[in-house]
Chain A
Amino acid sequence: MSNIILEIKDGSFYYSKEKFIFDHINFELGEGEIMAVMGKNGIGKTTLLKCIIGLLQWTDGYSAINGKIIDFKSLNQVGYVPQAHKTSFSYTVFEMILFGKIGHNSYFANPKTQDYEEVEKVLVRMGISELRNKPCNELSGGQLQLVFIARALVNSPKLLILDEPESHLDFRNQLRLMKIIKEYVSEYKISCIINTHYPNYAILFADKCLLLGDDYYQVGEITEILNEKSISEYFSVISKKIVASYKEKDFTAFVFIDEVSDLTV
């Protein structure tokens, strides 16, 4: 088993005691592993990510990175990619990515030459060099998403967390994005959590899966726990699993057929 990077122990969170959002969630994530977090709208996927990085406080339990509880200081090992959003003041793409380097510098420090070089590298890696001088607020949602990912990667994080990264992208760019993330995660041996609405991408790229339900959850190898039964259970959707072969490799996907009607329950 590879080294553990992220550990969530007894993670619980609630706004009021009557209704837990999460109740004692436990999982571990190792080097080079990607975990997909899935569940219905409003089930608390983003809340979970926020709890993991301390943006919201766990009511009980903790999250630890490399054996140390995640606090504000250890956030420099975490790259968090929020959902693409415009900002009040428009910065250029280059500046926005450079900001990934600023937070953990001392107060008087200007960014160093090395910081600028790392921004250049990550621009190339993400394939957005030609956007470098464009104002972020003039980008499409998909381009902006790439910029935010670049901003998270520029700090060479140990843990990469993405909140619905594919939501603004067309499906070619979704594939491309997932490939970039997959390559990066295995090349730099980091861990990655992706919050996604697309089981078919999850099963293509993720190693593990966390399914969030109302007051239950399931975590494990994605090939084991993501199936017709769990999709019906967690998403109330009737689906059929299909397997397609391409260049002697099997690709699994789900076809979504209909909602589970209340009468059948």
Chain B
Amino acid sequence: MLKSGKHSEKSVILSLIGLLLCVCIFSMMLGKYSIQLGDILTVFKNRVFNSYNEELKVVDHIIINIRLPRVILAGIVGAGLSISGSSLQGTFQNSLVSPDILGVCSGAGLGAALGILFFDNNIVVITVLPFLFGILSIILVFFLSGSKKKSDNMTLVLSGIIVSSIFNALTSLVKYVADTKDKLPTITFWLMGSFSNTTYREILISALPIFIGLLGLLMFRWKLNLLSLGDEDAYTLGVNPKQTRWLIILFSTLITAACVAVSGIVGWVGLVIPHICRKIIGNNHDKLLFISCLVGAIFMIVVDTIARNIVTSEIPIGILTALIGAPFFAIIYRRSRGGE
């Protein structure tokens, strides 16, 4: 029984990896300039063997410099937001929790708004500032929640709400004073989220914090199970709930802040993907975290492909994740209820 259970998990993981690859290739084929599957393969072959093909010069540029970084970044952000959603849900023992529960996204939003207002031409600043503000919001939550004595879940969530609302108000203030012709639209579009104009620089900036966060969360995957049973159970089973919770929050924040910094605020993914994964594989965070990464990456790449193909001008991805994610979620939820 145990063996067969493990077998089916393996096949789920393998088929998801297969699906991820297909989605990546498919996403690179589609666009204003549509590219054949064969050409994509030739481009990669040429790159690997260092050969050159004059006819595929344009295709090579589009694939390597435009679509590939975009697919990679969408995948990373999808995976990151999903795993941090899954982890925080476990930590807060509530499947309604999403990565922005403690105000990370609001903080990052303010960081971006300030960056656009004061340093409009410096793309590095506009990427780094949201990241720093995301981290800042968690530091504020840490001090607001009284750090040591009573950092139970409710105190944390309330502190998160307080920090969020302050940052949201400040963001509104920045928008209010921003130049309506130029800067206000930029801020507004940034807040809606987008992967357009992605280059390898965004990947480089976000890779390190996301990698550290992923590693940290995966390290805690078993302890997360104990934490999700409640503080007292966790303690008696040998997990220090306060310390572990803060470490998980820290790793999730690293990921979320880095994701938001490069993609803008992409809501809904961190809530709906973990939920779907819990239905597929169960609640054991040992497997759930891996599966969340895979499904999150697939979902984000698909949505981003739709975002840049459905109409002539791009639709901000934050709008689409909600528009596609919500009904998808409703269907899954109804199905699984019916199946019970």
Instruction: Report which A residues bind B (CB closer than 8 A).
Output: 50, 53, 55, 72, 75-76, 78, 80, 82, 85, 87-92, 94-95, 99-100, 102-105, 107-111, 116, 132-133, 151
Contact A90 B283 (CB under 8 A): yes
**B284 and A91 contact, CB distance less than 8 A:** yes
* B236 contacts the other chain (CB 8 A): yes
Report B-chain residues with C-beta under 8 Å of the C-beta of A89.
90, 93, 95, 228, 278, 283
Contact A87 B229 (CB under 8 A): yes
Considering the chains assembled together, what is the distance between the CA atoms of A89 and B232 in angstroms?
16
Are A110 and B90 neighbours in the complex by a CB distance under 8 Å? no
Instruction: Evaluate contact between A107 and B220: CB separation under 8 angstroms.
Output: yes
Find out whether the CB atom of A55 lies under 8 angstroms from the CB atom of B235: yes
Q: Determine the distance from Cα of A40 to Cα of B237 in the docked complex, in whole angstroms.
A: 28
Q: Which residues of B contact A92 (CB under 8 A)?
A: 282
- Contact: A55 with B282, CB < 8 Å? no
Q: Which of B95, B236, B278, B283 contacts A75 (CB 8 A)?
A: B236
Residues of chain A within 8 A of B237, CB atoms compared = 99-100, 102-103, 151
CB distance from B313 to the nearest CB of A (A): 42
**Sample of 14 more A-B contacts, CB < 8 Å, known A91-B284, A103-B223:** A53-B236, A55-B235, A82-B236, A90-B283, A91-B225, A91-B283, A95-B284, A99-B229, A103-B238, A103-B239, A104-B238, A110-B222, A133-B1, A151-B237
| Complex: chain A residue closest to B216, CB-CB | A107
Contact B228 A75 (CB under 8 A): no
Contact indicator B233/A107 (Cβ below 8 Å) = no
The answer to the question of B21 belonging to the interface, with a C-beta cut-off of 8 Å to chain A, is no
> Which of B223, B238, B278, B283 counts the most A-chain CB atoms under 10 A from its CB?
B238
Tally the A-B contacts, defined by beta carbons under 8 Å. 75
29 A–B contacts from the bound complex (CB under 8 Å): A53-B236, A55-B235, A72-B235, A72-B238, A72-B240, A75-B238, A76-B238, A82-B232, A82-B233, A85-B230, A87-B93, A88-B93, A88-B95, A88-B228, A89-B93, A91-B283, A91-B284, A99-B229, A99-B237, A100-B237, A102-B223, A103-B223, A103-B226, A103-B238, A104-B238, A107-B223, A116-B2, A133-B1, A133-B5
Instruction: Please give me the 4 A-B residue pairs with the lowest Cβ-Cβ distance, nearest first.
Output: A103-B238, A88-B93, A80-B236, A89-B283
Inside 8 A of B219's CB, which chain A residues have their CB? 107-108
State the CA gap A86–B90 with chains docked (Å).
15
B314 within 8 A of A: no
Residue of B nearest to A80 (CB): B236
A131 to B203, CA, bound (A): 47
Q: How many residues of B contact A (CB 8 A)?
A: 30
Instruction: Give CA–CA (A116, B228) in the complex, Å.
Output: 21
* B222 lies within 8 A of A88 (CB): no
Task: Point out the residues of chain B lying under 8 angstroms from A80, CB to CB.
Answer: 236
Specify the chain B residue showing the minimal Cβ separation from A106.
B219
B336 interface residue per 8 A CB criterion: no
The interface bits of chain B over 230-260 (1 if a CB of A lies within 8 angstroms of the residue's CB, else 0) are 1011111111100000000000000000000
Q: How far is the CA of A74 from the CA of B219 in the complex (A)?
A: 23
Chain A residues within 8 Å of B93, by CB: 87-89
Residues of B near A55 (CB, < 8 A) are: 232, 235-236
Contact partners of A78 in chain B: CB under 8 A: 236
Query: Which residues of chain A have C-beta atoms less than 8 A from B230's C-beta?
Result: 85, 87
B8 interface residue, CB < 8 Å from A?
no
Known: A82-B232, A89-B278. A102 touches B284 (CB 8 A): no
The answer to the question of B172 belonging to the interface, with a C-beta cut-off of 8 Å to chain A, is: no
Among A76, A94, A102, contact of B226 (Cβ-Cβ < 8 Å): A102
Given contacts A87-B230, A88-B94, A88-B95, contact A102 B222 (CB under 8 A): yes
Minimum C-beta distance from A90 to chain B (A) = 6
Q: How far is it, in angstroms, between the C-alpha of A75 and the C-alpha of B235 when the chains are bound? A: 9
Instruction: Name B215's closest neighbour in chain A (CB-CB).
Output: A108
Query: Which A-chain residue is minimally distant from B340 (CB atoms)?
Result: A138
A95 surroundings in chain B (CB, below 8 A): 225, 284
A245–B286 Cα distance when bound, in Å, is 54
Write the B1-20 contact mask toward A (1 if CB under 8 angstroms, else 0).
11001000000000000000
Kindly provide the distance from the CB of B83 to the nearest chain A CB, expressed in whole angstroms.
16
Contacts of A103 in B (CB 8 A): 223, 226, 234, 237-239
Residues of B within 8 A of A104 (CB): 238
Chain B positions within 8 Å of A94 at CB level: 2
Cβ contacts under 8 Å, B286 to chain A: 110
Residue of A nearest to B220 (CB): A107
Judging by beta carbons under 8 Å apart, are B236 and A99 in contact?
no
Residues on A with C-beta less than 8 A from B278 are: 89
CB contacts (< 8 Å) of A132 on chain B: these are 1
Contact A87 B228 (CB under 8 A): yes
Q: How far is the CB of A98 from chain B (nearest CB, A)?
A: 9
